[in-house]
Amino acid sequence: MKTKIRILSLDGGGIRGIITCVILKYIEEQLQKIDHPNAKIGDYFDMISGSSTGGLIASLILFPNQDGKAKFSVQEALDLYANKGEDIFTVSMWEKIINPFGLFNEKISQRNLEKQLQEVFGNLELSQFIKPSLITSYDIFNRKAKFFTSHDAVETLQNFYVKDVCRATSAAPTYFEPAQIKSTYGQEFTLIDGGVYANNPALCAYSEAQKLKFSKLLQNSNKPDYPKIKDILMVSVGTGMVLQPYSFKNFENAGKIKWVSPLIDILLSSNVETVDYHLQKMYETLGARNSKNYYRLMPSLYNASADMDNTSAKNIYNLIQAGFQYIEKNQNMLTTIAKKLIANK
């Protein structure tokens, strides 16, 4: 009997990715209780996609150990993320003086980010990921989407260092300057954050999954090839609802400068919501039973800041608490997800 293809999709959201890690940690703990005490979530999905901060988390989850299994538990990923987040997003006083509010240059220097990525990933290559992946970015020179897919990275033209993949997917406009990276073949790309078109990459992951021969990629004859929507268990995780209202009065006769920040916020949020809408409707066509194989996990931010770069100790605490709040309200659903992941190994 064929089992379902298990896809994990992780939204962008900067430091708010801590919420994602907290939720995934709880699911991993359920896997450890039900299936194996050393279970790691990377071994329980057949494909993982991510945009921006979601791409960073996906890369940690897909990092191989010496046996080709997941190296990091979610707790280890959370520790890395929380500890290194402050270093990545630190802005010096001098930078604040010469570049107030990021008006004249990128808000954050890419040097800290690149240093941390080098320390974590070293020379790990995309082709070494333990499972098929889809990590998003956007090519601003050729004006088209760029997807980093580990299953295509067997070709050197499509293979990259993971540190460069992470640098590209997290190059959020106004926060970091574009990433100039090369494939292992030597082709150069100029890339920005994939969140500009797919802050929620779940629909991209579904489209990519349809063209894959999973039984061969995973060496598992129970996995369906070229899966349709009925063959997929989709878990899509957001980084917190951002519901900042904008009134007509505030934007009556507003110019370009006043629109920049709100427009980025609106574009990212609307993309996330639209992808969720499409997937909900697609799964609804399968009937009541199979429609329950799509899970959209979108927590409230509660007291946490919506800012993607707020790494104060108070905000990191509030982000963790927001994750706890979501878990408390959705324990049964999260345990059900863990059981389904195990049943579809």
Q: What is the DSSP letter of 155?
A: S
Confidence band for 264, pLDDT divided at 50, 70 and 90: low
Whether residue 206 lies inside any domain: the answer is yes
5, 227 Cβ separation under 8 angstroms: yes
How many angstroms separate the CA atoms of 289 and 11, rounded?
Answer: 26
Residue 99 pLDDT greater than 60, yes or no: no
* Helices 256-284 and 202-209: angle between axes, nearest 10 degrees: 50
Torsion of CA 290, 235, 192, 112, to 10 degrees: 180
Task: Give the count of alpha carbons within 13 A of 193, CB side only.
Answer: 23
CATH number where 117 lies: 3.40.1090.10
Residue 209 pLDDT greater than 50, yes or no: yes
Residue 97 pLDDT greater than 60, yes or no: no
3-state secondary structure of 248: helix
Rounded to a whole number of angstroms, the distance between the first and last alpha carbons of the chain is 12
How many angstroms separate the CA atoms of 261 and 11, rounded?
Answer: 19
pLDDT number for residue 145: 96
Min mean pLDDT across 130-134, 234-238, 240-244 is at 240-244
pLDDT tens digits for range 15-58: 899 899 999 999 999 999 999 999 999 999 999 999 999 999 99
How many angstroms separate the CA atoms of 335 and 328, rounded?
Answer: 12
More confident residue, 280 or 244: 280
Whether residue 289 lies inside any domain: the answer is no
Q: How far is CA 22 from CA 28, 75, 340, in A?
A: 10, 8, 20
pLDDT tens digits for range 301-320: 999 998 887 878 899 899 99
Whether residue 222 lies inside any domain: the answer is yes
Confidence band for 258, pLDDT divided at 50, 70 and 90: low
Number of domains in the chain: 1
pLDDT number for residue 309: 77
Confidence band for 103, pLDDT divided at 50, 70 and 90: very low
Residues involved in catalysis: 52, 193
Whether residue 274 lies inside any domain: the answer is no
Helices (H) and strands (E) in the chain, counts: 13, 8
271, 297 Cβ separation under 8 angstroms: no
Whether residue 278 lies inside any domain: the answer is no
The average confidence (pLDDT) of the chain is 87
Whether residue 67 lies inside any domain: the answer is yes
pLDDT tens digits for range 121-159: 999 999 999 999 999 999 999 999 999 999 999 999 999
Tell how far CA 208 is from the center of its chain.
16
As a whole-number percent, the residues of the chain with pLDDT over 90 amount to 66
How many angstroms separate the CA atoms of 52 and 166, rounded?
Answer: 8
pLDDT number for residue 87: 53
Whether residue 271 lies inside any domain: the answer is no
Write the single-letter amino acid at 185. Y
- 46 closest CA partner among 140, 116, 122, 150: 150
Residue 98 pLDDT greater than 70, yes or no: no
Domain range enclosing 102: 5-254+294-344
Whether residue 149 lies inside any domain: the answer is yes
Min mean pLDDT across 34-38, 58-62, 97-101, 120-124 is at 97-101
